[in-house]
Amino acid sequence: MEQRIERLAREHTLPPEDFRALLAGMTPAVRENLRRRAREAARARFGNRIYTRGLIEFTNYCRNDCYYCGIRRSNAAAQRYRLTKEEILDCCREGYALGFRTFVLQGGEDGYFTDDRLAEIVAAIRAGYPDCAITLSVGERSRESYQRLFDAGANRYLLRHETADCAHYASLHPRELSLAHRMECLYTLKEIGYQVGAGFMVGSPGQTVDTLVKDLCFLQELHPQMVGIGPFIPQKDTPLGGEKAGTLEDTLGLLAIIRLMLPDVLLPATTALGTIHPRGREEGILSGANVVMPNLSPAAVRRKYALYDNKVSFGEEAAQGWRLLEQRMEAIGYTLAVERGDYGD
Ligand code: 5AD
Per-residue model confidence as pLDDT tens digits over 12-45: 999 999 999 999 999 999 999 999 999 999 999 9
pLDDT at 314: 75
pLDDT at 319: 72
In which residue ranges of the chain is pLDDT below 70?
none
* Contact yes or no for 265/227 (Cβ under 8 A): yes
pLDDT at 328: 94
pLDDT at 161: 98
pLDDT at 169: 98
Q: Which atom of ligand 1 is nearest to the CA of 228?
A: 17
Write out pLDDT tens, residues 241-258.
999 999 999 999 999 999
Ligand 1 midpoint to CA 268 (Å):
14
Q: Which atom of ligand 1 is nearest to the CA of 199?
A: 17
pLDDT at 315: 76
pLDDT at 317: 72
- Ligand 1 in contact with 158 (CB < 6 A)? no
Q: What is the pTM of this model?
A: 0.97
Give the pairing of strands 195-202 and 226-231. parallel
Ligand 1 midpoint to CA 78 (Å):
15
Ligand 1 midpoint to CA 341 (Å):
24
SS3 311: coil
- Ligand 1 in contact with 69 (CB < 6 A)? yes
pLDDT at 148: 98
CATH superfamily ID and name for 2-334? Aldolase class I (3.20.20.70)
- Ligand 1 in contact with 162 (CB < 6 A)? yes
H runs (alpha helix) in 129-247: 143-151, 166-172, 179-192, 209-222
Q: Which atom of ligand 1 is nearest to the CA of 200?
A: 17
